[in-house]
Amino acid sequence: MSATAKLPSRLHHTAYVTRDLEATRQFYEDVIGLPLVATWCETDELFGELRTYCHCFFAIGDGGALAFFQFANERDAALFGPKIPSSPFNHIALNVDAETQAGIEQRIAEHGIKETYVLEHGYCRSVYVNDPNGLILEFTHDHPDAEKINAIRLKDAHTELKRWLGGDHTSNNMFR
């Protein structure tokens, strides 16, 4: 990357199609604690047809949002809403402090959600949970020495990638 290249300032939003906006709202607002900050009900000509949909935004702390569409027409939902891949390696990770992470874990338990797990990465602690659409969310609390840890990984990011791609798959996580 060139020294003059300007990076995007933050994630504005990431969007997914849901078949049940109310179940999605209950999960994100009532369980996770992300407030519903905008609901747009629209009809637009998209891809050669008139399509009617509702688009909801749930705020995250930096001004970005998680967004979900629900189409009025089932055919549009099928066309634009393929099943969200349910794999631990396809997920959204949101940064939280320890208090927020504990609150999310408590609300998950209070709502009887069983599909959750915790992973201690060493450099962070992650809580994973599936939303009603099958989307996996990770709530990550960084290690207190995150700045030092990140500086180490920044310094060797390219050489470590080259090493791994060259066939040396030895772990470089000395923080576990």
Ordered by where they begin, the domains of the chain are 1-82 (3.10.180.10), 84-176 (3.30.720.110)
Q: How many CA atoms lie within 13 A of 72 on its CB side?
A: 9
For residue 29, which of 40, 38, 17 has the smallest C-alpha distance? 38
Strand partners, 92: 137
Taken in order 46, 86, 58, 119, is the CA torsion positive or negative? negative
Q: Are strands 36-46 and 116-120 parallel, antiparallel or unpaired?
A: unpaired
φ and ψ of 86, to 5 deg: -100, 90
How confident is the model over 37-83, as pLDDT tens digits?
999 999 999 899 999 999 999 999 999 999 999 999 999 999 988 77
Predicted confidence pLDDT, tens digits, the chain (176 residues): 556 788 788 888 999 999 999 999 999 999 999 999 999 999 999 899 999 999 999 999 999 999 999 999 999 999 988 777 667 778 899 999 999 999 999 999 999 998 888 999 888 999 999 999 989 999 999 999 988 988 888 999 999 989 888 998 988 888 88
Tokens representing 45 are 């000509």
pLDDT at 3: 64
Q: Given phi > 0 = left and psi -120 to 50 = alpha, else beta, which region is 13?
A: beta
163 vs 98, 149, 153, CA distance in Å? 34, 19, 14
* CA dihedral sign, ordered 69, 70, 72, 73: positive
